Amino acid sequence: MGILVDDTTRVVVQGITGKEGSFHAKGCKDYGTKVVAGVTPGKGGQEQEGVPVFDSVTEAVDKEGANTSLIFVPPPFAADAILEAADAGIGLVVCITEGIPVRDMIPVYHHLKKKSVNLIGPNCPGVITPGKAKVGIMPGFIHLPGSIGLISRSGTLTYEAVKQLTDLELGQSTCIGIGGDPIIGLRFADLLELFAADDQTKAVVLIGEIGGTAEEEAAQHIIDSKYPKPVIGFVAGKTAPPGRRMGHAGAIVSGGKGTADEKQKVMEKAGMAVCPSPDAIGKTVQEALASAG
């Protein structure tokens, strides 16, 4: 079953006529995802990669039944693109765009909450339910359908973890890269809740980074909800110097808070199996499943 995307997902790609939008729209379509429309204002009536292009998301929803948006719009216009998708009735927005100003995302975050629209990202690789739908930029061929859910702030480590799981024949239910910006849509705790209700998912891998409080919130959610499934965690950035941004805008240790050691301690306190290093993610999942019976 998985979460967020499946074979009923109908994708509109905002920014489909750009280089990145066109390339990844084709990749999603080749994977088997129903990419039903593209949007670039002023280019309605054209086709891109065999997909009809419209001037607005509203047209894509009305004419092609789009229910999910994949955004490749440049940073100055991406926040407005998210709002347009939400106001057009899109239920899931996946924003790949990197470099959106934080002040642009603040009103977007609150607007989406009022509309009950799910946002993944920005600055993320997207979402994939293996064998069903790929909505993003991840390499589909490394994924294997199965029962392990995966949530990650790091795009590269998402791929590393998935490859390890697949090599051990531990397939994935759904994999989500939530992005590493300070203001994002769905967070670890939100997605843990969705995975808890998913019958296909038997365990969840949570890959965090230094900075912010998302991992601590997830750990508290696991404790408060008496989480019913094994959760395996890893935190990247153990050797990162305080005060220096590492990769993502949100990956920064400030005032001694948000360190990898602190996050690992709260994960362990919540009963998570914490990986000692990135190359041990697959093995740790395997061991956690064996312990759970």
pLDDT tens profile 123-164: 999 999 999 999 999 999 999 999 999 999 988 999 999 999
For the chain, which residues make up each domain, given as ranges? 10-120, 138-292
Mean pLDDT over 51-61 rounds to 98
Which two three-digit tokens encode residue 226?
């008496």
Give the pLDDT confidence score for residue 169 in this predicted structure.
98
Residue 242 has pLDDT above 70, yes or no: no
Write out the CATH class of domain 138-292: alpha beta
How high is the mean pLDDT of the chain?
93
Query: For residue 276, what are the contacts with CB-CB under 8 A and spacing of at least 6?
Result: 284
Q: What is the pLDDT of residue 292?
A: 84
The per-residue pLDDT for 212 is: 87
Average pLDDT over residues 107-116: 93
Taking the C-alpha atoms of residue 87 and residue 57, their distance in angstroms, rounded to an integer, is 9
- Which CATH code fits 10-120? 3.40.50.720
Q: What is the mean pLDDT of residues 203-230?
A: 95
Give the least confident one: 24-28, 84-88, 244-248, 280-284: 244-248
Residues designated catalytic:
248
pLDDT confidence bin for 241, thresholds 50/70/90: low
10-120 and 138-292 have identical folds: yes
Reported pTM: 0.93
Given a cut of 70, is residue 181 above it in pLDDT?
A: yes
Q: What is the pLDDT of residue 257?
A: 52
Q: Is residue 252 pLDDT above 60, yes or no?
A: no
What is the per-residue pLDDT for 253?
46
Q: What is the dihedral of CA 71, 74, 78, 84, to 10 degrees?
A: -70
CA distance 27 to 55: 22
Note the Cα 121 to chain centre separation in Å: 6
Give yes or no for a contact between 66 and 7, defined as CB atoms under 8 angstroms apart: no
Between residues 100 and 240, the one the model is more confident about: 100
Residue 255: the pLDDT is 43
Tell me, what's the pLDDT at 248?
46
